[in-house]
Amino acid sequence: MTTHTSTPRRLPDVAFDAAAAARPLDWVGMSNIALPLRVASGHGEPAHNGTIQVAASVDVSVDLRDADARGIHMSRMYLQLQDAFASETLTPAGLRRVLQALIEGQGGISSAARLVLRYEQLLLRPALASANAGWKRYPVEIDATLREGHLHLGLRFAVEYSSTCPASAALSRQLNAERFVEDFAAARPLSTAVVGEWLASERGLAATPHAQRSRADIRVELRPAFDELPLTALIDAIEQALGTPVQTAVKREDEQAFARLNAENLMFCEDAARRVAAALSADPRIDRYEAQVSHYESLHAHDAVARVTGQGAARD
């Protein structure tokens, strides 16, 4: 019996061939990689050690500074990413380590690396008046670049809220007042009980202001001196500034409380943009920000949009 010893075949690797036209490239990599991320769970969620695992879509790339190199080590970069964020919470320090490992894994042909991570953050939100709570999702995008030892972090997220038109509210109040005068022109004297009963009836509401679901899309460039990604804190600040975030679990008492909040927070898109800007401008973790608010109008088929940019608060 003859024993044959198999010798591993040497497979060709044309990536090591010289480039046909010597030229460095800004970025080379892959997009839409499926990846698990472990992120901070926010406030009060029943998660393991204050974190939850989410499904993410990830873009990864490195620069190709070696003009003569034909290609990067793409499969090596892919394998490096597979377990990069599965076991530890996503932090600026963790992003730096992964980006540095991606650069080093290219064997000297790269000097910068970039990651773009997209996922949905789930936060458990309490109801306004009842004892209930519900999960709310927020689309998130993290853009992290490491170049010459400097980490640049961009964070995108969106917040949905309700906007009630101040002009429509004023016009509705006028119609309500005119009907009151019409119905009680001959009433002498006026009883508070009678007026209260009238206000609670269908006759007591001649018109309602129009309101619509709205959205604030925000991008911030973060300063590098913070240990955690301030996503939940920023979402909380924006929702508090706007005053009427979209709700999750809603009983009748919650719906009534939401109607009260809308009446207390009448706003055009210009008002909403200024509220968002004020919240972001007060945050020392932010270097620069861009925000767009969109009111998906119920009055007409086009949307009302406002944009604003600015800087965060100066650090001490």
- Please report the beta strands in 65-111, taking only residues with DSSP state E, as ranges in sequence order: none
- Please report the beta strands in 65-206, taking only residues with DSSP state E, as ranges in sequence order: 112-126, 133-147, 150-164
Query: Distance between CA 153 and CA 266 in Å, rounded?
Result: 34
Residue 45's pLDDT is 46
Query: Distance between CA 308 and CA 274 in Å, rounded?
Result: 8
To the nearest whole number, what is the mean pLDDT of the chain?
91
Please count the helices (runs of H) and the strands (runs of E) in the chain: 7, 8
Query: Distance between CA 113 and CA 148 in Å, rounded?
Result: 10
The pTM score is 0.89
> pLDDT (tens digit, 9 = 90+) per residue, 35-52?
999 998 775 444 445 788
Do residues 235 and 159 lie in contact, with contact meaning Cβ atoms separated by under 8 Å?
yes
Residue 44's pLDDT is 47
Do residues 111 and 150 lie in contact, with contact meaning Cβ atoms separated by under 8 Å?
no
Average pLDDT on 157-175 reads 97
- Checking if the pLDDT of 253 tops 50, the result is yes
Contacts of 81 (CB under 8 A, 6+ apart): 33, 35, 58, 60, 98, 102
Residue 10 banded pLDDT, cuts 50, 70, 90: confident
The CA-CA-CA angle for residues 56, 58, 64, to 5°, reads 165
Residue 188 banded pLDDT, cuts 50, 70, 90: confident
